[in-house]
């Protein structure tokens, strides 16, 4: 099993656009083979901080996810919303890889 935690900081004025794009991406991602859970959380203290928490059967399931059309569409919106570089943590039983 593998977990991915993506912490994103967005511009406050892009919040609604970001959340709409995220919801569409979440809906499609949950249908992907190997996906166990895929959720977006918003900080209760900072509305510009968004955290995706993902659970996958294995690392191989992430390969097609990264190039899926719904991920590309989300990426086109998300990149315009970021106010800081994303922090991606890939968590496996062996290690935590931070990107």
Sheet containing strand 35-42, edge to edge, reads 35-42, 49-56, 2-9, 87-91, 96-98
Structure tokens at 20: 């709409």
Confidence at residue 36, expressed as pLDDT on a 0 to 100 scale = 98
d(CA 1, CA 43): 26
The confidence band for 74, taking pLDDT boundaries of 50, 70 and 90, is very high
Q: What is the pLDDT of residue 79?
A: 97
Q: Can you give the pLDDT at residue 65?
A: 96
């Amino acid at each position: 099993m593998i977990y991915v935690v993506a912490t994103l900081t967005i511009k406050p004025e892009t919040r609604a656009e970001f959340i709409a794009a995220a919801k569409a991406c979440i809906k499609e991602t949950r249908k992907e083979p190997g996906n166990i859970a895929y959720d977006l959380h918003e900080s209760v203290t900072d509305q510009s901080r968004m955290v995706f928490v993902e659970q996958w059967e294995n690392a191989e399931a992430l390969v097609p996810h990264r190039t899926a059309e719904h991920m590309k569409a989300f990426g086109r919106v998300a990149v315009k919303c970021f106010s800081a570089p994303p922090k991606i943590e890939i968590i496996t039983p062996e290690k935590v890889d931070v990107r």
